[in-house]
Amino acid sequence: MKNSQNFPGMTRRGAIQLGLGGFMGLSFSEGLFHRARAEETTGTRAVAKGCILIWMDGGPTHFETFDPKPGAPAEIRGEFDAISTKLPGVQFSEHMTRLAGIADKFAMIRSIRHDQANHGAGNHYMMTGAPPRIPVGCGAFVSFHPSMGSVAAHELGKPNGLPPYFSMPSMSRSGGPNFLGAKFAPFVVSDDPNGANFRVRDVALPKGLTDDKFQHRTALRKRVDTLPRFSDRAAGDPTLALDDYYRQSLDLVTSPAAQAAFDVSKESEQTRNRYGRNSFGQRLLLARRLVEAGVPFVTVYDGGWDHHADLFNACAKRLPEWDNSVATLIEDLEERGLLGSTIVTALGEFGRTPKLSVLPGQTKAGRDHWANAMSVLMAGAGIPGGLVLGATDRNGYSAVDRVLSPENYVSTIYTKLGIDPDKILYTPQGRPSHLVSDPTPIRELFV
């Protein structure tokens, strides 16, 4: 008699979910398996091949960007006016003009909230979908769980000799792989693509080293590398990480796809100017080139959003360029036929306090940390444009309508990429760990 219940309390499907990954490794078939699993468990279809995460480190103000409160008292609404968007009745802050004009091309979530109002913990929660296990300080670099980028690298594999996970110009404080290991850490592109002599480390042969000499040295290294290996699974063996980095560097030097993806000089002057001749704009352009080359996950780290003081001068200078570059990325992806398969998302660790305040020793007002409300931009990969999801109260204190969690946000990213957010991974010590404790994606973002 056929029986799918091979073990008490576990279905055959459950057994496959728990055990198959260990036998298949990082293969193309594993990627297909996990995409099918995500579709099966969520009732949605995975459509994204890549994700560009714009990380606004420090916690951007929702009032001065996507959730202005023009009817609030002056000490709450601030100095900026609200402007109309392409969507009837929807307003953004006055410096978000380009994005206001294409508001029909992306979704704006106004109702994600959590309870981690310091940088270290908030960063970890939004980057991983897992709250930190112990209290952490604002300046802490926290890693209790793999980041979205590292999970995408682990689950979706390596494209065309390129690393599967990039971060520019640095890694965010919780953007690492945790127990997945150094192999799934981001490849950091620290140099500025807006510079005249932009060159990515490990993507070109050193001067004076010909290709023949390089291949000879590579072969020699293989012969003399007799360092002992404790085990392929021994997380404590430092030589394993060194080997991973060496192989990654070798792949980059010898990969035509890598050489082509990093060559932003191939872009027309019109395109480069359109993105903005600044570091942030050119990093978004490079991110587009990387997902175009098949990279599953790219983080553009955009620091400096922690505006406790002089908020309005800082935002007036910064927001017009930021607004232009992000709008251009969305438009460019759409024009190239890539937006349907690429997630674009912009957020930080939390929002900012409703009431303005002046710090001791300062003369110009700012806003402090606030985890009860934040705004998150999401576009592409089947995410419906023109959607404003959820709402904060009239003074922007808290999300009050369609309240969502970091878990919902991260589960949405995973599901769009074809990764089952309810999947169980195992640490080197054999401890099981769910990708996300609440694997429920945001249903309105699937059509």
The 8-class DSSP code of residue 80 comes to P
Contact 290, 333 (CB under 8 A): no
pLDDT in the model for residue 39: 54
pLDDT for 187? 94
Structure tokens at 288: 């587009």
Report the CATH architecture of 12-445.
Answer: 3-Layer(aba) Sandwich (3.40)
pLDDT at 232: 45
Angle CA 316–126–408, to nearest 5: 115
pLDDT attached to residue 66: 98
Whole-angstrom distance, CA of residue 25 vs CA of residue 146 = 18
CA 154 to CA 21: how far, in whole Å?
11
CA 18 to chain centre: 26
- Could you say which residues of the chain have pLDDT below 50? 1-34, 41-42, 205, 209-210, 213-214, 216-218, 220-221, 223-224, 226, 229-239
- Locate tokens 């003369």: which residue? 363
The answer to whether the beta carbons of residues 107 and 378 sit under 8 Å apart is yes
Q: What is the pLDDT of residue 158?
A: 82
